Chain A
C-alpha cells in the first residue's frame, strides 16, 4: 500500500467557503465592528516584562532568572578561565576522562581539550549509544536571553539536535556579545543571522529539564539534562 493522497484542495476549499462570512469581532459592539489589523512587529515586545537598559542590569537579571530556574550561572572574566572551571566541574562530579561530549569549535571542543580531556565529538554519523553514556556535554550557543534566563541553541551553533538534550549535564559557553535583553531581540538576532533559511532546529532552553506531572511537585531531569550550567564570559 502506498501513501494516501493529500486532501489539500478539499481542506482549502472548505476553509474558503467558511471564511465567506466575516467574523464577529469578539468583545466589540456588533453594529460597528472594526477588524483588528495584524499588529506590527514592533508591537510584539512592547507589553512583555521590562528589562533594564544597562549591560550590568541585564547580566544581573539573567543571573536571577537562572537561579530561579535552578540553573547554575557562572560569570568568568575571560575565555581562558573556562578550561580550569571545566576541569573543576569534572573533578567535582567525577566525569570519566572520555565522558565529555562536545562539538568542534572555539567555544566548545577546544575548551574541553584545553581542560585536558579528549571530548567525544558529535560529528555526522556519531555513535548514539556513546553520546548517551556521556556524563556531560559542552556546547556553544546562539544567545542568552536576560528577560527569561533562557539559552538559545540551534543545530548550527550547538552541535546538532541531540547534544544539548541527551547527556545529563549540559554546559553552555556564552560570551558578552551573546547576551540579548529580551525575546524579540533574540528573534531579531536569529533573523539577522540566518535570513529566512533557519537551522532545522532552534531551541529556547529555559532551565534544566523539568516536570511537575506527579502531584505538581517539581522534579528536575525528567528526560533531558538534570543540570544546566551557563559559563558566561563577560
Chain B
C-alpha cells in the first residue's frame, strides 16, 4: 500500500466521522440543486443540448492538433504570445522568466485550477514574488494555506466564523461575521492589490480555435479586473479547453452556468483577443497564453477514456456525488476532486498511486447523468480499476477470483459449498466484527443480514416436492 492510499484512508476516517461538517456541506449544496433543476427544465431540450455539446467537444478533442494550431495562429495575429508547455515545470519557468524580464513586482491572480495543478504560487513565492488570489474563495483558502475544497466552490466547507477568524489573523479586526461584511472586507483589501499589480494571472474556461480568443467565466468580476488593470496578462490554460467556433460559446456559456452554479449565465463571461489593440482605451500591453499539456496527452492516447477531456470543469459531478458529499474535497488529495478527478488523476499522476480513487465510488452513475457534456464517468472509474489490475494485479486477489471461478462453474462444488455456508454464516455471526474475524475490514462498520435457515437449492427442492403431488 502506498503512502498516498494510507493518507487517503486516514483522511477519510476523519472526514466521514465529522457529521456536523457533512451536514453543513449538504445544506450548502441544497441551494445549488434548488436553482439548477428548474433552470435545466426551462431548456427547450436539455438532453439534446447535452448531446450537441458533447458532439462539439468530440470534434474539438479529436481534432485537437488542428484546432490548437489555428488557435495559436489567430491569437498571434492579434499580438498574443502563445507558449506551449509540455510540463508544469516548463509553464512555471516561463512565468518566472516573464517576471524577471519584465521586472514584475506585484502579482494578482484570478482563479485558475491549472495554476493549482502545477503549483504556480509556490514556485513564484519561492523566487520571492508575492501572489495574491483575488477570487474570494481562493483568497480565503490562500490565507489559510489550504487547498481548494471544490474546484468551483473553493471554501464551501468553511463557516462564517472560521472565515472571520482567518481574516482577523491576517488583517486585524474585521467586525461582524456576516457574509456581506466579510465580502466587503476582502473587496477593500483586494482592490488595492489590483491597483498596484503589474502582472495578472488567470486561467480560461474555453479557447476559441477559430478566432484565437480565450473565454473566462466568473461571478465576482475579479477576473475582469485581472485582465484590465495590470500591464501584463498571462492566461494558463489546459490544451483540452478548445471549442472550434466562436458561436459554440452560445451553447457552452449557458450550460456551464446552469450545470456549474445553477445560474442561467454566470455574472461575467468574457472573451479576450490579444492585448490592448490600437485605438482601444486600456488593457494590458502584453498578453500571454500558456497552453499546458502536463500529461493530458496520456489521457488523449486512451481512446476509451478520451471523452474525459471533454470536461468543462463545471463541478456538477462533485455536487451530486455521494462520495464527495461524505468524504469531502480535501480527502481526495488531488487538484480536481470528485468523479472527474478520480477519472483523470490516475492519467495525470500515475495509475498505481491513484487507482484507489476509482475504488472509492458507489458506481451509482449520478455523475454521468448530470454531466453537461456526457462524459461516461462511472464507466471510466470501472475501466481504471480494470487497467490497474491488468497492469499490476495482486496475487491473492487473482487466486481468490480463480477459486471463485472454479467454484461457480462446477455444480457439485457449488452445492457442497452453499450447504456449508448456512452453518458457516451462523458461526460467523457470533464473532462478526471481532478482532480475529477474517473479514473484519468489512464487518467492523457493517452488520450482515441474519443468515438464512436453508439454501436456495433446498428451498427449491422443497417447493417442487410440494407441487408434485398435484401435478
Contacts and interface: CB of A to CB of B under 8 A. Distances in A.
Interface of A: 1-4, 6-8, 10-12, 14-19, 21-27, 35-39, 41, 43-50, 65, 103, 122-124, 126, 128-129, 132, 147-150, 155-156, 159-163, 165-166, 182-184, 186-188, 190-191, 196, 198-217, 219, 221-225
Contact of B297 (A15, A188, A225): A15
B48 interface: yes
B301 interface: yes
Contact of A1 (B97, B190, B269): B97
Contact of B275 (A2, A200, A209, A214): A200
A213 B137 contact: yes
A184 B261 CA distance: 21
Nearest to A36: B55
A155 B283 contact: yes
Contact of A46 (B28, B44, B190): B44
Contacts of B68: 11-12, 15
25 contacts: A3-B94, A3-B101, A12-B65, A15-B300, A19-B63, A38-B59, A44-B251, A123-B281, A124-B281, A148-B265, A161-B282, A165-B221, A166-B225, A201-B271, A204-B265, A209-B268, A211-B183, A212-B31, A212-B153, A213-B135, A214-B163, A216-B156, A221-B184, A223-B187, A223-B224
Contacts, number: 321
A18 B93 CA distance: 26
Contact of B84 (A7, A204, A210): A7
Interface of B: 28-29, 31-32, 42-46, 48-49, 52, 54-56, 58-59, 61-65, 68-69, 72, 78, 82-86, 90, 93-94, 97-98, 100-101, 134-137, 140, 153-156, 158-160, 163, 179-180, 182-184, 186-187, 190-191, 195, 211, 213, 219-222, 224-225, 227-229, 239, 244-251, 253-254, 261, 263-277, 280-283, 291, 293, 297-298, 300-301, 303-304, 306-307, 374-376
A91 to B, nearest CB: 25
A26 B376 contact: yes
Contacts of B250: 44-45, 48, 182-184, 186-187
Contacts of A216: 28-29, 31-32, 153, 156
A113 B78 CA distance: 35
B304 A24 contact: yes
Contact of A224 (B85, B220, B248): B220
A210 B195 contact: no
